[in-house]
Structure 1
Amino acid sequence: MSKAAPAKKPAATAPPPGCTLDINDPQVQKAAIRIQASYRGHRSRKEMRETGPPRVLEPLKDVVLIEGSAAKLTCRISAFPDPFIRWSKDGKELRDGPKYRYIFEDPDVVALVVRDGELADLGQYSINVTNPFGQCSDSARILVEGTRAPRAMPPSRAASPPRRPQPIQPRVYPWA
């Protein structure tokens, strides 16, 4: 029995002239970063490519929360590489869940949504942004506005029975 000769791999052909690629070329590395950024759904921005500690570009603003509704704290940051984000209320860390929701709207916009507002949500909310090069933070307050009960009638009117309408008496004028 004779064994079949192993299939020969095709010899690697040289690329056409002018089509070589050097992966150490800075332009190639920049292009790779842009491709990776667009693949992840992020915009390629100069701010994102600069390594360094995170920065707050647009700070948090105080928000008024109406009882029973939701409030949203929004902050624009610059951080590369990707940061670790922590939200806290009055110094206590908040976990992403049904009450508090972490939102990442854009590569540089982060938000915290507080659902089902109540008086207990009143307080100082902080964001802490950390990456290998450092950290930054910012804070704002959530003020709670309660739903107002209907105004009560003054006691003098509430105690008296309702008045019955009186029939209208026609007036008789002497010159008619």
Structure 2
Amino acid sequence: MSTAVAKPPPGCTLDINDPQIQEAAIRIQASYRGHRSRKELREKGPPKILQPLKDVILLEGSAAKLACRVSAFPDPFIIWSKDGRELKDGPKYRYVFEDPDVVALVVRDGELADLGQYTVSIKNTFGVTSGSACIIVEVPAKIVKGPDNVTVVKGSTVVLKAEISGEPPPDVGWLIDGEDIEEDDRVFYDIRDTTTILTIKNAQRSDAGKYEVFVENNLGMDQSFARMDVL
């Protein structure tokens, strides 16, 4: 007793004698042979960096990516570090593998503390190689805390202090009642990494007024005011 074979649905048959079908099969075979030969031609050995890391600029509050192209067979183990400290893959630092040959690190929520040298270490059973680049952080000039209002006694020494930030480091200036302060041995100011301090020795009643401190870099400017009264 013979069993009837169901016919395939319309459009689901291939004619192997069709020239177009034969041509497609040849292309598929050639592509597979090429993929297999490329894989087989990969030489076992220590990793190599084909395109090195490059310095990148990170704006405050944004993200930046460091990336390099590598050659490694067997597949390597990747470690990223900043200034010699290993970085763990997580919300702040994200290890990224864009394709078999590109490794990258994404740094999120940029802040001034992210400035530094970053290193990728690429290791397999045959050896290790590494490369480094810097993240340059740019932060608009800002007065984090302005000077306080003060009331002083004539003849005393007065110090007005402001906490500042910015990268590149901002230009800093002090004014009284809208006019630039002319520094001398009695009235002068200095600028440090995170502060600026105005010193007034032997305060006189003529020193009373509205003091302004301002900071400015290529990303922005900020200012703050304080009142000084002399009794």
TM > 0.5 fold call: yes
Matched, 1:89 2:64: no
Q: Normalized per residue, which structure has more strand?
A: 2
Q: CA deviation at 1:50?
A: 1.5
For 1:48 and 1:99, how far apart are their aligned partners in 2?
Answer: 38
Q: CA deviation at 1:148?
A: 3.4
Aligned residues: 121
Matched, 1:62 2:55: yes
TM-score by length of 1: 0.60
Q: Deviations over 1:89-133 (max 9, x none)?
A: 011100000000000001000100000011111111000000011
Q: 1:50 to 1:70 in 2, by over 3 A?
A: same
Q: 1:120 to 1:66 in 2, by over 3 A?
A: same
Q: Percentage identity across aligned positions?
A: 66
For 1:32 and 1:84, how far apart are their aligned partners in 2?
Answer: 28
* Counterpart secondary structure, 1:120: helix
Q: For 1:120, which of 88, 110, 113 is the aligned residue?
A: 113
Q: Deviations over 1:138-163 (max 9, x none)?
A: 000111110234999x755597xxxx
For 1:87 and 1:60, how far apart are their aligned partners in 2?
Answer: 12
1:51 is matched by which residue type in structure 2?
Answer: K
- Unaligned stretches of 5+ residues in structure 2: 1-31, 144-171, 180-209, 211-231
For 2:123 and 2:34, how far apart are their aligned partners in 1?
Answer: 21
Q: Deviations over 1:4-39 (max 9, x none)?
A: xxxxxxxxxxxxxxxxxxxxxxxxxxx79946xxxx
Aligned equivalent of 1:104: 97
Matched, 1:136 2:129: yes
Q: CA deviation at 1:46?
A: 5.6
Q: CA deviation at 1:69?
A: 0.5
Q: For 2:64, which of 48, 71, 78 is the aligned residue?
A: 71
Aligned equivalent of 2:160: none
- Unaligned stretches of 5+ residues in structure 1: 1-30, 36-43, 160-176
* Counterpart secondary structure, 1:88: strand
Q: CA deviation at 1:45?
A: 3.9
Q: Which has the higher contact order (CA 8 A, sep 6+)?
A: 1
For 1:116 and 1:156, how far apart are their aligned partners in 2?
Answer: 39
Q: For 1:145, which of 138, 151, 155 is the aligned residue?
A: 138
Q: CA deviation at 1:137?
A: 0.3
* Counterpart secondary structure, 1:50: coil
Is the 8 Å Cα contact of residues 128 and 137 (structure 1) preserved in structure 2? yes
2:97 is matched by which residue type in structure 1?
Answer: F
Q: 1:130 to 1:33 in 2, by over 3 A?
A: farther
* Counterpart secondary structure, 1:146: strand
Aligned equivalent of 1:50: 43
Q: CA deviation at 1:64?
A: 1.0
